[in-house]
């Protein structure tokens, strides 16, 4: 089938150029490209950097890296990942050696459990004093002694709604199940977020492993889908679809909310009163890191107020860096309840915990039943 496929593609083309030779020329070109690619990959392996950084995509102003390289003379290799679950096996299976990584709370907990992380030497990170005490306190939920992690960004999961397309102000998850919003609601296509919303609405913990509670949450999400209010299950696209007025209500991370409000002033973000997920992404150093001191230098650099501010302005996710927050020039943003909600909003919020493999499987199975409905 393979050869036939290639033939079918090239025969009409060679007819076009009316030169029989074209096929062989193209083949030769293709072979050369492949070998060239192989060679360049091989030679790429030989290059040595002083620091290997592994971060979420679109989660750092890349100028910051250039500044770091200039100031320290260290060469940085910067890679990105899309989900914690993508990142975990690469680090756990030793596939690539990174020196500093930025996972989320529950994943840090899991990595500590699996003995993958090195204790950070905080003598090398004096700038930790810029991080608000409350964030280090919250970090204890996944890093009980504050030994392994330095908070980088944090935020909540909430509802983004278009003021012109909904009736009255919104303050509860109940709108996601309100049948007047037919085909108008964007849900998160991510198991913990979606199940967490349903669990919170039902009054349970979003870290529950109680099967009856989880089934109730599944039934709620299935009913929601059957009622026809869900327009789509998406992740990043919530942002663009809400900006484009394609839906009235969407579930979104607080960091994205600020960006969407800049683009479309009709949008409003709220953390529902039933509570939600509050998350922290923190820098950690894996045990097998080759350049631990450089990693600490990098973390310290990121905690510097001017650098943290630069990153905040680029990615718009809330920074735990109190000194940086004070430097924000735009008063509306500095006092924004979206970027920096006061503690009353966070009262009912929980961070995710790593629940173990068995519970993970149960969550995944129930979530698939929702999607497959």
Partner 1 sequence: MNNKRQTLWNHLLATPYVLWMAAFIVIPLFFILYYGLTDADGRLTLSGLAQITNPVNQKALWLSLELSLVSTVICLLLAYPLAMILRSLQMNSTSFIVLIFILPMWMNFLLRTLAWQTLLDKTGVLNTFLTGVGLPPQNLINTPAAIILGMVYNFLPFMVLPIYNVLIKIDRNVENAARDLGANGFQTFLKIILPLSLPGVISGITMVFVPALTTFVISDILGGAKILLIGNVIEQEFQILNWHSGSGLSLVLMVFILISMFVMSKYDKEAEGTAIW
List contacts with partner 1 (CB under 8 A): 1, 4-5, 7-9, 11-13, 15-16, 31, 34-35, 83, 85, 88-89, 183, 189, 225, 230-234, 241, 244-247, 360-361, 364, 368-369, 371-372
Q: Yes or no: say if 53 and 79 are a contact pair by the CB < 8 Å rule.
A: yes
State which residue, 79 or 360, has the beta carbon closest to partner 1.
Answer: 360
Q: Closest separation between CB of residue 232 and partner 1, Å?
A: 3
Name the nearest CA neighbour of 325 among 130, 168, 66, 164.
130
State which residue, 1 or 42, has the beta carbon closest to partner 1.
Answer: 1
Q: Closest separation between CB of residue 33 and partner 1, Å?
A: 12
State which residue, 225 or 290, has the beta carbon closest to partner 1.
Answer: 225
CA distance 367 to 225: 12
Q: Closest separation between CB of residue 218 and partner 1, Å?
A: 11
Q: Closest separation between CB of residue 5 and partner 1, Å?
A: 7
Q: Closest separation between CB of residue 83 and partner 1, Å?
A: 8
State which residue, 31 or 96, has the beta carbon closest to partner 1.
Answer: 31
Name the nearest CA neighbour of 269 among 281, 288, 283, 255.
255
State which residue, 15 or 126, has the beta carbon closest to partner 1.
Answer: 15
CA distance 301 to 127: 8
Secondary structure of residue 103 in the 3-state scheme: coil
Q: Yes or no: say if 350 and 206 are a contact pair by the CB < 8 Å rule.
A: yes
Q: Yes or no: say if 139 and 122 are a contact pair by the CB < 8 Å rule.
A: no
State which residue, 34 or 133, has the beta carbon closest to partner 1.
Answer: 34
Q: Closest separation between CB of residue 247 and partner 1, Å?
A: 7
Q: How far apart are the first and last CA of the chain?
A: 36
Residue with tokens 């039933």: 274
Q: Which H or E element spans position 155?
A: strand 150-162
State which residue, 121 or 365, has the beta carbon closest to partner 1.
Answer: 365
Q: Closest separation between CB of residue 59 and partner 1, Å?
A: 20
CA distance 204 to 94: 37
Q: How many CA atoms lie within 13 A of 328 on its CB side?
A: 22
Q: Closest separation between CB of residue 280 and partner 1, Å?
A: 23
State which residue, 5 or 123, has the beta carbon closest to partner 1.
Answer: 5
Residue with tokens 């983004």: 160
Cβ neighbours for 17, distance < 8 A, ≥ 6 positions apart: none
Q: How many CA atoms lie within 13 A of 231 on its CB side?
A: 20
């Amino acid at each position: 089938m393979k050869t036939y496929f290639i033939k079918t593609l090239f025969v009409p083309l060679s007819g076009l150029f009316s030169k029989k030779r074209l096929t062989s020329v193209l083949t030769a070109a293709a072979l050369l490209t492949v070998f060239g690619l192989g060679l360049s990959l091989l030679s790429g392996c030989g290059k040595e950097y002083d620091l290997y950084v592994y971060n979420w995509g679109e989660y750092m102003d890349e100028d910051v890296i250039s500044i770091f390289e200039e100031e320290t003379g260290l060469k940085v290799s910067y890679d990105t990942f899309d989900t914690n679950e993508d990142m975990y096996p690469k680090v756990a299976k030793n596939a690539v050696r990174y020196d500093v990584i930025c996972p989320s709370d529950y994943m840090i907990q899991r990595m500590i459990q699996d003995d993958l992380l090195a204790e950070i030497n905080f003598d090398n990170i004096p700038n930790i004093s810029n991080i608000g005490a409350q964030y280090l306190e919250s970090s204890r939920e996944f890093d009980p002694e504050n030994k392994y992690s330095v908070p980088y960004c944090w935020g909540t999961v909430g509802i983004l709604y278009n003021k012109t397309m909904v009736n009255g102000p919104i303050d509860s998850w109940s709108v996601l199940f309100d049948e007047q919003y037919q085909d108008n609601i964007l849900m998160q296509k991510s198991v913990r977020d979606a199940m967490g919303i349903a669990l919170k609405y039902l009054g349970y913990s979003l870290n529950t492993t109680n099967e009856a509670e989880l089934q109730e949450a599944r039934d709620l999400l299935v009913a929601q889908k059957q009622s026809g209010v869900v327009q789509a299950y998406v992740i990043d696209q919530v942002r663009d679809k809400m900006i484009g007025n394609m839906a009235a209500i969407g579930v979104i991370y607080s960091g994205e909310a600020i960006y969407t409000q800049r683009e479309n002033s009709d949008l409003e973000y709220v953390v529902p009163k039933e509570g939600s997920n509050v998350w922290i992404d923190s820098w950690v150093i894996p045990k097998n890191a080759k350049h631990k001191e450089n990693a600490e230098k990098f973390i310290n650099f990121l905690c510097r107020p001017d650098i943290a501010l630069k990153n905040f302005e680029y990615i718009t996710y809330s920074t735990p860096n109190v000194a940086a927050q004070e430097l924000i020039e735009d008063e509306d943003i500095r006092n924004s309840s979206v970027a920096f909600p006061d503690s009353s909003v966070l009262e009912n919020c929980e961070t995710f915990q790593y629940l173990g493999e068995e519970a993970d499987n149960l969550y995944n199975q129930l979530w698939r039943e929702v999607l497959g409905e």
